[in-house]
């Protein structure tokens, strides 16, 4: 079973080597790794050329933002299942994709797992996002799976369409709501950490970014008739528990690969 992993990058020379090594070290044999760079000026392309021996396709050109780049990756994907691993993230262990592929052999349409947020410099765990099992009613209570752990059957992805590029920060949330509100969608939860994600994402870099994200989240909730202000408040409050939960012992969660 072929699994497509799409990495979107822009000026990611300081982190993308870990991402590339993380994919290359996976034990699953049939991986298509697509890297879409937005025309970086910091040497990202040189890192990919030097370290991307496992990269199936590499494109570097200007784009209209992260979701435009993600859509480019989706258009190039040929795997049976598709997911994203961005240029500052890494898989939690070398058999992560194998675990995803094993789950994908079931009758699921969507697969997701847990996520660790780690400090940009320290690499220490900052937040632990234990997603829990999917139930449609939980969407109204602000529940969502961690997008970096989400894998979707490509046939369904082609039906649902790509990311809405009119949304600048929350298009991934809108996309997941579009998937999860489909009638009879089959969703499977893997109760294990799949991805280690560095903190410092676009959604929380400034007060304005937080405001824009909240506004776009509300748009997504209303568009899919999931909820409104109450659901948005629940979604934000859910993050608090991620700072107090503790993941499995470090020995079970190897650090990302690096030199």
pLDDT in tens, 155-192: 999 999 999 999 999 999 999 999 999 999 999 999 99
Of 57, 149, 56, 151, residue with least CA distance to 101: 151
Tokens of 116: 């660790």
Report the predicted TM-score, pTM, of the whole model to 2 decimal places: 0.90
Q: In the chain, what are the domains?
A: 3-248 (3.90.550.10)
Identity of the highest mean pLDDT range in 6-20, 118-132, 227-241:
6-20
């Amino acid at each position: 079973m072929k699994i497509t992993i799409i990495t979107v990058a822009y000026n990611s020379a300081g982190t993308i080597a870990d991402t590339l090594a993380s994919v290359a070290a996976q034990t699953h044999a049939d991986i298509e790794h697509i890297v879409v760079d937005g025309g970086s000026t910091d040497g990202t392309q040189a890192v990919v050329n030097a370290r991307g021996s496992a990269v199936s396709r590499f494109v570097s050109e200007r784009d209209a933002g992260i979701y435009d780049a993600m859509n480019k990756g989706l258009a190039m994907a040929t795997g049976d299942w598709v997911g994203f691993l961005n240029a500052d993230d890494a898989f939690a262990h070398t058999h992560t994709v194998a675990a995803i592929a094993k789950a994908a052999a079931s009758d699921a349409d969507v697969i997701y797992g847990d996520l660790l947020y780690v400090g940009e410099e320290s690499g220490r765990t900052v937040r632990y996002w234990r997603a829990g099992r999917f139930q449609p009613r939980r969407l109204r209570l602000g529940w969502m799976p961690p997008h970096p752990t989400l894998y979707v059957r490509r046939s369904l992805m082609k039906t649902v369409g790509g990311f809405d590029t009119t949304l600048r920060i929350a298009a991934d949330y809108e996309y997941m709501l579009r998937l999860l509100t489909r009638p009879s969608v089959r969703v499977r939860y893997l109760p294990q950490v799949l991805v280690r994600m560095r903190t410092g994402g676009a959604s929380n870099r400034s007060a304005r970014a937080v405001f824009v994200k909240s506004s776009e989240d509300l748009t997504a909730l209303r568009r899919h008739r999931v909820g409104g202000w109450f659901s948005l408040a629940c979604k934000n409050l859910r993050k608090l528990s991620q700072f107090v939960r503790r993941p499995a012992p470090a020995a079970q969660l190897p650090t990302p690969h690096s030199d």
